[in-house]
Structure 1
């Protein structure tokens, strides 16, 4: 991905507050022993998936590695990776980056897990747009990161303002149930939305708050006429959840009332298997908005190892000494 804003590196990362204590102790011991070897250090994926967080790591290492006597090789952000594939290689004096292993692995694991989960949803959707609503399911300090990662994974849009800033896209969203509940009626909320929102904001109305979904959809369609762009359904599990049959019923009843040009969007706690049911049924879904599945992430882990010291191959037991051949790595600097 290239259309993302350069992210500010948190000072707590630079000074090592986010690093595990044994990395601090290691550097202290080596400094007192007068040891600072030139090493080759590789991070590889344990599982397959979509790699994300590369750009943040490049920015970090560009700040902490010396201007000379350094090399950084990496895969492109958003690349699909296979099991045991090298995603990043550093060649530099160990003391210049050894403190940051926690941050390197944590960034890759979190961002790649979110990106991979988003990618799973996008593949299941078979061309139907998927929007990330994952920011509502994570700590606010990482809301931008989860949305950025979901976008790298293939989501067409994200819902948070900070996610929109990081991806340089317009945040996507309709209206919450709280607006409808406070307004007291779905049609009233829809008309207020139409009156007060900028003209470039799509008129997509949430229609499952008070009444039968099809009934509310028809009422909104008749009230808003040609200004209605679409409806969003988020039927709770207590009411049976969102199903392909429900979407088909709403679509047919809208057509019977000659309400045309109204897209149907579904949202909620869905996974790729749920999405695939709508696709296989050929339901009239114009888009999916996914939260928890993306926020939970898909399993993809990484490991980091020194593979050479002063040009000599070395490795811990169980690993193969020396740099691993990888033709997909690009020289960054």
Structure 2
């Protein structure tokens, strides 16, 4: 159904969403104002009664903690055509706590109702990008792939994986839509389910090689049925030069992926003449484990929960100027806080 743009409290009473649906908001519902906090709609009624709804204001957004900035394109799309000026950091830039990240100038009626939405967009994407960058830095130049889609609601999985790539520095993402929105092709190997159903890792590897088109990486899981080093050698002998890599995803019940395991697998592959085979590791990775596994010889890292479960960077929007007069709530400084890094985007 088409949603009416919320203008006043009475419009909320007339909104009757279908409850037999996926519970995530559609783009139209976000744009209409249905995902904002109700008090911002009440504010419109009150300010209109005072003749102040169209007051020209300057609003500034900051985060309390440092991080990697992300989410800007969604805010620009949300406010497109609203007649406001938006100054902002570039997506992917690091920032310090309390630094002004975005400034919006224009009539309050044009954007005030969207404060909840704007802050949510920036807070979530910035949190994911910050966690991704921590993993990328820990990898020391070795590639990090985002495998976080299964850890969040599917409605936001593409947002998360896009932020991890575009702002966080991950080289790839497994979520199809997330990768596409980041301008790249999705990357991933195979699940344990495929090997369990096939009944043998080598059997699956040969079928995988036969079924997939050229250009797709031949990287095979080697922790399903047998010792990882043994399975890695079996797969390498079966595929030879066509094998690009093996993936270690040993579960915690078996001790997880350890530096010693990586060293052993690397040693045995090299001794058998398979030095070209890369070792990809995944499974509950964090920056500290990524660092130690990289030192042990791991070549690439698939990170899921650490990125997906990142704490959002709490964002705050303050009105700093009203009709040319500097203002601020107690504890904040009235007027614009200059940040030479801000650029005009609209």
Q: Could you say which residue in structure 1 is the equivalent of 2:47? A: 30
Alpha-carbon deviation of 1:97? Answer: 0.5
Counterpart check, 1:61 vs 2:76: no
Q: Is contact 1:116-1:298 (8 Å) kept? A: no
Partner in structure 2 of residue 323 of structure 1: 336
CA contact (8 A) 2:128 2:312 kept: no
Q: TM-score, normalised by structure 2?
A: 0.90
Alpha-carbon deviation of 1:18?
0.5
Partner of 1:95: 109
- Equivalent residue, structure 2, for 1:285: 298
Normalised TM-score (structure 1) = 0.94
Say what the alpha-carbon RMSD is for the aligned residues. 1.1
CA distance in 1 between counterparts of 2:62 and 2:312 reads 14
Which of 39, 49, 53 is equivalent to 2:67? 49
> 2: CA distance between counterparts of 1:90 and 1:259?
56
CA deviations on 1:239-265 (whole Å, 9 max, x unpaired) are 010011100101111122222310000
Q: Following the alignment from structure 1 to structure 2, what is the Cα–Cα distance between the partners of residues 251 and 182?
A: 28
SS in 1 for 2:246: strand
Give the Cα–Cα distance (whole angstroms) in 2 for the partners of residues 29 and 309 of structure 1: 16
Equivalent residue, structure 1, for 2:35: 18
Return the offset for 1:59: 1.5
The aligned counterpart of 1:3 is none
Quote the residue 1:71 is aligned against. Answer: 85
2:125 matched to 1:107?
A: no
In terms of mean alpha carbon deviation, does 139-148 or 292-301 score higher? 292-301
Residue aligning to 1:122: 136
Q: In the comparison of the two structures, how many residue pairs are matched?
A: 319
Aligned counterpart, 1:4: none
Please state how far the C-alpha of 1:33 moved relative to its aligned partner.
2.5
- Assess if the C-alpha contact under 8 Å between 1:203 and 1:229 holds in 2: yes
**Alignment gaps of 5+ in structure 2:** 1-25
Structure 1 gaps of 5+ residues are 1-8
Q: Judge conservation of contact 2:148–2:161 (CA < 8 Å) in 1.
A: yes
Q: How does 1:137-286 map to 2 (within 5 A)?
A: 137-151=151-165, 152-279=167-294, 282-286=295-299
